[in-house]
Amino acid sequence: MASSYKTPNVYVEERSIFPPSVAEVATAIPAFIGRTEIDEDAGGESLVNQSVRITSLVEYESWFGGPFDESFDLESIKDSEGNVIDVKFKKDTLSKMPDFILYQSVAHYFANGGGACYVISIGTPAKYTDVSTEKALFEEAIDVVSQVDEVTLMVLADAAPRFKDSLPEFYGLCNKGLAKCTELKDRFMLIDCVDSLGNDSTSRDNDVKALRDTINNEVDFAKYGAAYYPYLMTTMARAYDESKVTLDDVAMNDPSLQGTEAYSILKNKLAKNYLILPPSSAMAGIYARVDGARGVWKAPANVSVSGIVGPTRIIDNVIQENLNVDTTAGKSINAIRAFTGKGTLVWGARTLAGNDNEWRYVSVRRLFNMVEESIQKSTGFAVFEPNTPFTWLKLKTMIESYLTNLWRQGALFGETPEQAFFVNVGLGQTMTEDDINNGYMRIEIGIAAVRPAEFIVLTFSHKSLEG
């Protein structure tokens, strides 16, 4: 409608000529749940079940403190003259993993390329009681995370050590997370296949079986998650408090030990007491790194893992066959493998729905997550707009422009935009007169997602001299 002016003057008006556009949502914003050293803010208010957004480890420390300090008992090794030449951990006093690893998990996320993330504290380590109570606290925190719209990845790495002897409860938490991802359709679950850290094939087979026997088998759930195995030996030393470390039953902070050669040897030993972590936190960082460098449509695989010595188990091609392809239930488990001359690489790109032709690959599921949420949010302006061809054209143009841009970036398969996607809307095409009378505007969108080249087959033959 033209403006109505009453005073003679020169007036300036602006007319919007560009159509609305689709704003792309973030794709790799994880939520970490677990126990933190601090669970109150500076004012004494509880941080439990509060979603706190951070962008660095320094921010984490300002909110939640540092790592959980462990206690260690060591004994000295002496030469013939009684001088300490080395130290060793006492038998049966050193667990393979600490019980609380949230701080280090977040640190590993940042070390592998992670950016913004959310942290949800369920209390301090001192408040831990038992597994059943812990499960209820994690379930409540998962419900809290579901209210945070920006979150696109869910990580339960801190739960894995405490549920190592209660795997049905741990994978039950993973099932709850998968259920939330399925319900919200805007996030993806990273699942740790719990590693018993044995050194034989039986323990490995039991690890795999425990996941496959418990994780929900429905495709609608499985396509929203991916599992990774084995655990990773990091380059981070396990945290300790000197008052809780003893050498020959003498506390490390005892004045009689401070400044001695034995103390220096002890410090060096503890500096190389490397921490083992579940892989999901590093994978969250890798997802963010690959998304930023290439795009969510690039499989987060054949990329290196940072901040590690190597995986806790050696996995070869034969072993990975069973992990990658589950002919019975389709629950693929992505391997992390050490390769000579290449380092440690993520060597799997499948969702838990490994036998499903549509949702087999992580990159395909996450691309659809991004496209669906981006278009859903960007079309919100049209709610209650006239359900007419003019509105349909505006939406069709907006969506096609967005998808064309994705195609140009290499996210969609096809030599032309017409091969890569379609957007249909209109009376007699996607809607009936009854739909319009009842307030429905139906838009059909199809995209040809690129899929990773999982198996590259090179065929060689002899060439005859004649042809």
Mean pLDDT of residues grouped by 10 in the chain (467 residues)?
A: 77 76 90 97 95 97 97 94 94 87 98 97 96 96 96 97 95 96 96 94 95 87 95 97 95 94 96 97 98 96 97 96 91 96 96 94 96 94 94 95 96 95 95 96 95 88 78
Count of alpha carbons within 13 angstroms of residue 372, beta-carbon side: 12
Instruction: Answer for the pair 274, 307: CB distance below 8 angstroms, yes or no.
Output: no
E-strand stretches of 63-178:
70-78, 84-89, 117-121, 153-155
CA pair distance 449, 456, nearest whole angstrom: 19
Indicate the pairing of strand 70-78 with strand 84-89: antiparallel
Q: How many C-beta neighbours within 10 Å does residue 96 have?
A: 13
Residue with tokens 């087959």, as numbered in its chain: 457
Query: DSSP state, 350?
Result: B
Identify the helix (H) or strand (E) that includes residue 232.
Answer: strand 232-237
Dihedral of the CA atoms 145, 106, 367, 289 (nearest 10)?
Answer: 160
Tokens standing for 8?
Answer: 């003679």
Give ranges for CATH 3.40.50.11780 in the chain.
30-364
Contact 234, 275 (CB under 8 A): yes
> Is-contact 187 152, C-beta < 8 A?
yes
Instruction: State the alpha helices, DSSP H only, in 215-361.
Output: 219-222, 261-271, 280-293, 317-324
Tally Cβ neighbours within 10 Å of residue 441.
Answer: 18
What is the architecture, at CATH level 2, of domain 30-364?
3-Layer(aba) Sandwich (3.40)
The whole-number pLDDT of residue 334 equals 98
- How far, CA to CA in Å, does 221 sit from each of 26, 47, 162, 227? 22, 31, 25, 13
Pick from 310, 289, 313, 309: which is nearest to 301 by CA? 289
User: CA dihedral defined by 169, 172, 173, 179, rounded to 10 degrees?
Assistant: -170
φ/ψ region of 198 (left if φ > 0, alpha if ψ in -120 to 50, else beta) reads beta
The pairing of beta strand 232-237 with beta strand 308-311: antiparallel
Half-sphere exposure of 39 (CA within 13 A, CB side): 16
- What was the pLDDT predicted at 238? 97
Cα dihedral 164, 166, 170, 171 in deg (nearest 10): 110
CB 375 within 8 A of CB 423: no
Q: pLDDT tens across 323-369, in order?
A: 999 988 889 999 999 999 999 999 999 999 999 999 999 999 999 99
Q: How far apart, in Å, are the Cα atoms of 460 and each of 54, 317, 463?
A: 52, 21, 9
- Predicted confidence (pLDDT) per residue in 78-87, tens digit: 998 999 999 9
pLDDT at 467: 59
Q: Would you state the pLDDT for residue 223?
A: 95
Q: How confident is the model at residue 1, as a pLDDT? A: 46
Q: Which residues contact 139 (CB under 8 A, 6 or more apart)?
A: 173, 176
Question: Which uninterrupted H or E stretch holds 213?
Answer: helix 201-214
pLDDT at 21: 86
